[in-house]
Amino acid sequence: MPFKRSLLCLTISAALPFSVCAAETTATKAVPETEETVEFNDQFLFNSGANIDVSRFANGNPILAGTYRVKVNLNNKLKITSEVTFKENGTPRASACITPLLLSQAGVDTKTISNDYDADDNASCVDIKKYYPTASANYDTGTQALDLSFPQIYIVKRPAGYVDPSLWENGVPAALVSYDMNAWHSEGNGSTSDTAYAGLRYGLNMGAVALTLARHPELE
């Protein structure tokens, strides 16, 4: 009888750690992730006596106010690479100025804001939460990407590889000339054959006009 009781206690003791572990795992999944606050000691910074404010780095790697060339993703898909201005908002992390032109280039329907903004406005900052419910914007300093999240109802349907006309560039005025030449000599069954080929390609780019001509004469 004592042996059976000891065996029962051993079985229960062995099962307890697994039960506790399972409970902790479930609780961990239920609790949302939050950014931990880190406090820096500026006494360890080597400087010329000037005070350096490092408090803005307490909640991660912030983006400072200024203009940066960043990748713009719309619903996890890369759309464009553009110059984006970040402005101070009273917090350690500056906010991206999302202009109507940026929304249009990324593939967001700008009809929703057409009463207040022009589609080619590249100076005004749009409050996307005001005009596009549940939309959000987040800048990832690690990947240097501005991630836009918009409901599908506000996404413009475009064919694959589409480039917004506002992104087209005329380029610089230039003239181009290229050529290639080939020759073949073959013999077989008592006959010979000689073939020569010359290709000439020339063009002129001026403003929005691009002229290109090609000639491919073949001589036998």
Question: At 196, is the secondary structure helix, strand, or coil?
Answer: strand
Beta bridge partners of 201: 178, 214
Per-residue pLDDT of the chain (220 residues; tens, 9 = 90+): 554 455 445 454 554 444 344 333 333 333 334 455 566 666 666 665 566 666 666 655 678 899 999 999 999 999 999 999 999 988 878 899 999 999 999 999 999 999 999 988 999 999 999 999 999 999 998 899 999 999 999 999 888 777 777 777 777 888 888 888 888 888 888 788 888 888 888 888 887 788 888 776 665 5
Query: What is the model's pTM?
Result: 0.55
> CA triplet 184, 187, 192: central angle to 5 degrees?
80
**For the range 170-173, what are the long-range contacts, defined as Cβ-Cβ under 8 Å and sequence gap of 24 or more?**
170/205, 170/207, 170/208, 171/205, 172/205, 173/205, 173/206, 173/207
Which pair of structure tokens corresponds to residue 207?
Answer: 């403003």
Residues making up the chain, counted from first to last? 220
Task: Identify the CATH homologous superfamily for domain 62-154.
Answer: PapC, N-terminal domain (3.10.20.410)
Sequence-distant (6+) residues with CB within 8 A of 155 are: 74, 75, 107, 108, 109
Question: At 14, is the secondary structure helix, strand, or coil?
Answer: helix
Please, what is the end-to-end C-alpha distance for the chain in angstroms?
109
Which segments of the chain are extended strands (E)? 66-74, 77-87, 95-96, 136-140, 145-149, 174-188, 191-206, 209-215, 218-219
> CA triplet 58, 60, 64: central angle to 5 degrees?
95
Task: Report pLDDT for 38.
Answer: 60
Domain ranges in the chain are 62-154, 174-219
